[in-house]
Amino acid sequence: MARELVLQDTPIVWKLNNFIPLQEDDLQELAKLLSKTREVSSHTDLLQEGGTNHHCYFLVEGWGCRYKLLSDGRRQIIDFPIPGDLLGYRSSLLRTRDHSFATITPAALAEVPANQLTQAIAETPRLGQALLWAVSRDEAIIVEHLVNLGRRTALERTAHFLLELGERLRLAGLVSDHNFSCPLTQDLLGDALGLSSVHVNRVLRQLRERELVTLRHKELVIHDTQGLRTLAGFDIGYLDQE
Amino acid sequence: MARELVLQDTPIVWKLNNFIPLQEDDLQELAKLLSKTREVSSHTDLLQEGGTNHHCYFLVEGWGCRYKLLSDGRRQIIDFPIPGDLLGYRSSLLRTRDHSFATITPAALAEVPANQLTQAIAETPRLGQALLWAVSRDEAIIVEHLVNLGRRTALERTAHFLLELGERLRLAGLVSDHNFSCPLTQDLLGDALGLSSVHVNRVLRQLRERELVTLRHKELVIHDTQGLRTLAGFDIGYLDQE
DNA sequence: CGGCAAGTTGAACCGCCTCAATGACGGTGG
DNA sequence: CCACCGTCATTGAGGCGGTTCAACTTGCCG
């Protein structure tokens, strides 16, 4: 009983409730999955491209990044998991992991064998549907990142990314108004947005000077949501909210 | 019985067999899923971003493209489904479709309600595993496209894309040596690779002049696989073969 | 044979990169 | 408490990769 009360206000429950309200048996099953949590420091590698680890992780606390490296050191960040996100499930079905994952802040994670998760999804339909929805939505976000990299300018792209981040955090119950803490460096942003960190700096300056959004001292403030959305061509549909 | 013999040499069976050899009951179940096929002409829209159609499609014959449009007409192509590919399953779990799909050649497709597919996956474990593997592999391909757009030059990117295409066709049993038919225009390639069609043209010329690969008259010939792989930094791992 | 889509090429431009130097901040140890 | 150091942020100058615009060619299908 105590456990459900604890879970109730947790980012993962916030996120899943957006798809379908979870009920008591769902929360109990979820609590079982999350029972074995593990604290790790920042910059800890948990999944390696090419590895055969068939676990997945619920990110309970902290931020991370999923990425791929090229042989000469270039890095592309796929996305930044935040609390409430499930990661590694899709790629656990492959014989070999297609990307790496590392934390970027201190974090708490629940490690779950992929087949245990599959079983839970089959046996607890409502929770299962919600988890599969969450996985699908996160794939839809990756597809939107593809559009971002391929067809938006640096300014649009950065604006779009920051808006998306705000919405994801809001959905996880981690932000109420237009401010939130954001531990991403300009280097990380560059590798996610396909830009050099120098150019990220210039773009952020522009966004600040246009009084749209400010990212400073790990704190992000959106001054003008509507203006930012217009600039980015942001259509929230792909986040499948409401 | 006749149906299984027909299926046996079909791209989808070639593709799935690469993960796990299908057996008779798998083929029977698959035949049921594929029973209602439909022929459509080229440039037919089948899925619309924002739509609520909860079907998925097996592409039996022909090529297509999954894409998203920006409001000003810019287009980003996500990938080009080829025969044997399953599409729309992931996004059928969302309340609203996150991307569009259209054919680019005349095509034959089997339309399957998403929940019927889910049921088949649950009831026929071996086939189910194979289908989920295929879906996961196709997601891994999208992630690699992200790397392509974010961190590879136009030359590397194009080379990488063509190599990937060859491998996918080979896995579907659609190519034996180093030649294959490829109905993609430079316009389509540009929208997939995040380049202008003019620049695609120049890149293809370079690849031709370096005697690596030729794409002409809808026919692609790879002259120097190893050279092309070196140029592209192509690591086949993400395709999860063998 | 006529018409239209697709491919090809040149010239000029610009968005973003690279290289390099400097500044701000936080943590750590003397 | 301050001096030091490493990481991250900021800014300028110059160069390159890829875009845009426009003209022309080629190939295909009726």
Q: Do B78 and A144 touch (CB under 8 A)?
A: no
Distance, CA of A102 to C1' of D6, in Å: 22
Mean pLDDT of chain A: 95
**Among candidates B99, B90, B173, which has minimal Cα distance to B131?**
B90
Q: In what order do the strands lie in the sheet with A64-69?
A: A45-47, A100-103, A64-69, A75-79
Is the pLDDT confidence value at B242 over 80?
A: no
pLDDT of residue A8: 74
Question: If you average pLDDT over residues A211-236, what whole number do you get?
Answer: 97
Is the pLDDT confidence value at A176 over 90?
A: no
pLDDT of residue A211: 97
Question: If you average pLDDT over residues B38-62, what whole number do you get?
Answer: 96
**Cβ neighbours of residue A36 under 8 Å, at least 6 residues apart?**
A110, A111, A112
> Which amino acid would we find at residue A1?
M
Q: Do B237 and A49 touch (CB under 8 A)?
A: yes
Report helix, strand or coil for A20.
Answer: coil
Contact A173, A14 (CB under 8 A): yes
CA–CA distance, A242 with A158 (Å, rounded to integer): 25
> Which amino acid would we find at residue A93?
L
Bases of strand D lying below 7 A from some protein CB = 7-13, 17-22, 27-28
Q: How confident is the model at residue B6 (pLDDT cuts 50, 70, 90)?
A: low
Q: Which two tokens stand for residue A58?
A: 């619920």
Which residues make beta-bridge pairs with A86? A58
**Chain B residues inside the 8 Å CB shell of A90:** 136, 139
pLDDT tens for each residue of B131-162: 999 999 999 999 999 999 999 999 999 999 99
Beta strand A86-87 with A55-61 is: antiparallel
**Among candidates B54, B75, B50, which has minimal Cα distance to B65?**
B75
Q: For A26-42, give one letter per residue: b (16+ CB within 10 A) or e.
A: bbbbbeebbeeeeebee
pLDDT tens for each residue of B18-29: 999 999 999 999
Question: If you average pLDDT over residues A210-232, what whole number do you get?
Answer: 97
Q: In what order do the strands lie in the sheet with A55-61?
A: A37-40, A107-113, A55-61, A86-87
**Among candidates B86, B69, B75, which has minimal Cα distance to B33?**
B86
pLDDT tens for each residue of B54-77: 999 999 999 999 999 999 999 999
Displacement of CA A77 from its chain's centroid (Å)? 12
CA–CA distance, B150 with A188 (Å, rounded to integer): 13
Q: In what order do the strands lie in the sheet with B45-47?
A: B45-47, B100-103, B64-69, B75-79
Q: Do A75 and B99 touch (CB under 8 A)?
A: no
Chain B residue with the nearest C-alpha to that of A137? B94
Report helix, strand or coil for A205.
Answer: helix
pLDDT of residue A6: 67
Is the pLDDT confidence value at B241 over 90?
A: no
> Of all residues in chain A, what percent are helix, strand and coil, respectively (each to 5)?
50, 20, 30
Total residues found in chain B within this entry: 242
Rounded to 5 degrees, φ, ψ at A21 are -65, 125
Question: If you average pLDDT over residues B214-224, what whole number do you get?
Answer: 96
pLDDT of residue A242: 74
Is the pLDDT confidence value at A86 over 80?
A: yes
CA–CA distance, B182 with A26 (Å, rounded to integer): 48
Instruction: State pTM to two decimals.
Output: 0.95
CA–CA distance, B179 with B188 (Å, rounded to integer): 20
pLDDT tens for each residue of B163-191: 999 999 999 999 978 899 999 999 999 99
**Cβ neighbours of residue B205 under 8 Å, at least 6 residues apart?**
none
pLDDT tens for each residue of A103-148: 999 999 999 999 999 999 999 999 999 999 999 999 999 999 999 9
Is the pLDDT confidence value at A5 over 60?
A: no
pLDDT tens for each residue of B193-215: 999 999 999 999 999 999 999 99
Which residues make beta-bridge pairs with B75? B69
Residue with tokens 């699908």: A136
Which of the residues A115, A143, A164, A230 would you substitute to probe the B interface, choosing the one with the greatest number of B C-beta atoms within 10 Å? Answer: A143
Is the pLDDT confidence value at B2 over 50?
A: no
Contact A89, A117 (CB under 8 A): yes
